[in-house]
Structure 1
Amino acid sequence: MSGRPLIGVSTYLEAGVRWGSWELDAALLPSGYHRLVQQAGGIAALLPPDAPELAAEAVARLDGLLIAGGPDVDPARYGAERDPRTGPPAPERDAWELALVGAALEARVPLLGVCRGMQLLNVALGGTLVQHLDGHAGTPGAFGRHPVAPVPGTRYAELVPEVTSVPTFHHQAVDRLGAGLVVAARAVSDGTVEAVERPGPDLVLGVQWHPEMGTDLRLLHALVHASALTRA
């Protein structure tokens, strides 16, 4: 089958979004995500929250999946008490995206998780999260940057073999790794887990930073390439 691979990208679900003279509930996504998919050679399809039981049907129509960043994962999803600094829950999005991740893993559809998406991948495989850490976010409304180092021998290290400065905005991180995952990159400053992956032939990768806010296409090229093989 020819043609560009179809990459599903999960979205926010927000109440009372204003544009022009309208104020309505909206499924939305920062444009950096779909533009990055397009620049890397894929076609982006936005996936607003839906019934979790439909996730497998949705994933069956995709060649690849990108789980976008967003609000904190509900600590109840990984059996923890809520820290006062953890943000409000997004139950519809948690349920839908966890179902999407599970369906992609089951169907062996290439998967990239970004920030919250990496955390959801870890939680979906039984891992836990650090609910608060300092020094990994910029000021409100602006991304920070810090260097991350690849772990030798990982797929991520093959894609990005050097230390890179990445756009970042998060206050949570991976704690206990989910089943089958390995650490693929760490923050240079404090060793925080910045990327995880599942070894094997399938692309299953999560990064804690925001590639959609930068210009490095290597991660998206890897997703699109793997998705093109799925399509073929």
Structure 2
Amino acid sequence: MTTYVERAAQGVWDVPAAYLQYQYVELVTRAGGVPVLLPPPGPADLPQPDGAAAAVLDRVDALVLAGGRDVDARRYDAEPHATADPPATDRDDWELALTRRALDLGLPLLGICRGAQVLTVALGGTLVQHVPEVPGARAHKLGPGEFATHTVRTLEGSRVATALGADATVHCYHHQAVDRLPEGLRATAHAEDGVVEGVELDGDGFVVGVQWHPEQSLDDLRLMESLVRAAREQTKEKV
């Protein structure tokens, strides 16, 4: 699971730390997986994104791209919107490298919120930078730290539909979303206002991105269980 590197204060300490909300760890563990945190590489004397991604992904069974800050619009040749988050350059570099390497390896992958956007950009797609400007769009977050809840409709036969059925109630916290889909990536879930909420890569592998936050519903493990199952089946095939 990907993480930030951010300053964190604890007791007398105020130091850089690999940071990820603990719900992600719980989600993977409850679904039967073993979570491994993957922070961006460190100083320049350590292996940098492409080399580090290759080394890391040779040792894990699946990749989860966690939620977080907006992907820098310059990654898809656009100017950042006035509402865009300050770019997390190290994390953009790292997650784009991980995603491309995971796709090369055929590794099972689940992108969550920002992760769905990283997957889209890694393959050459673009993003809607501010969903509230889309005509007819409803709120996909309610305020600072306050998730919106709505229903998504899934595409019949998709991996998301197989896991969740024709529709599901989900927790969202995003103001950006998928815009132009790259070749091979298709929309497989939509909010009732038409905003893309799920994407999947064509083919037999498990490569899924969702705009919602399954870690906010730890009583519903179906999507993460699908990833863990895909990883387990692929690992058996290699033995």
What TM-score results when the alignment is normalised by the length of structure 1? 0.93
Matches within 5 A, 1:99-114: 99-114=97-112
Gapped regions of structure 1 (runs ≥ 5)? 1-8
Gapped regions of structure 2 (runs ≥ 5)? 42-47, 133-138
**1:200 offset after TM fit, Å?**
1.5
Q: Deviations over 1:1-41 (max 9, x none)?
A: xxxxxxxx0001113x1122221111110011111111010
Question: Which letter does structure 1 place at the counterpart of 2:71?
Answer: V
Q: Distance in 2 between matches of 1:72 and 1:66?
A: 17
**1:199 offset after TM fit, Å?**
2.2
What is the aligned counterpart of 1:60 among 58, 61, 80? 58
Q: Is the 8 A contact 1:113 1:121 kept in 2?
A: yes
Q: Match of 1:192?
A: 195
Q: How many residues align?
A: 222
**1:44 offset after TM fit, Å?**
0.4
**1:192 offset after TM fit, Å?**
0.2
Q: Deviations over 1:201-232 (max 9, x none)?
A: 10000000000111211111110001112222
Q: Match of 2:136?
A: none
What is the aligned counterpart of 1:152 among 150, 156, 168? 156
What is the Cα-based RMSD across aligned positions, in Å?
1.0
Q: Match of 1:40?
A: 31
Identity of aligned residues (%): 49
Matches within 5 A, 1:128-147: 128-134=126-132, 135-147=139-151
Q: Distance in 2 between matches of 1:169 and 1:209?
A: 7
Question: Which letter does structure 2 place at the counterpart of 1:149?
Answer: R
Q: Is the 8 A contact 2:155 2:166 kept in 1?
A: no
Q: Distance in 2 between matches of 1:150 and 1:99?
A: 29
What TM-score results when the alignment is normalised by the length of structure 2? 0.91
Q: Distance in 1 between matches of 2:19 and 2:79?
A: 29
Q: Distance in 2 between matches of 1:82 and 1:39?
A: 37
Question: 2:22 aligned with 1:25, yes or no?
Answer: no
Q: Which runs of 4+ in 1 moved over 4 A?
A: none
Q: Distance in 2 between matches of 1:70 and 1:97?
A: 12
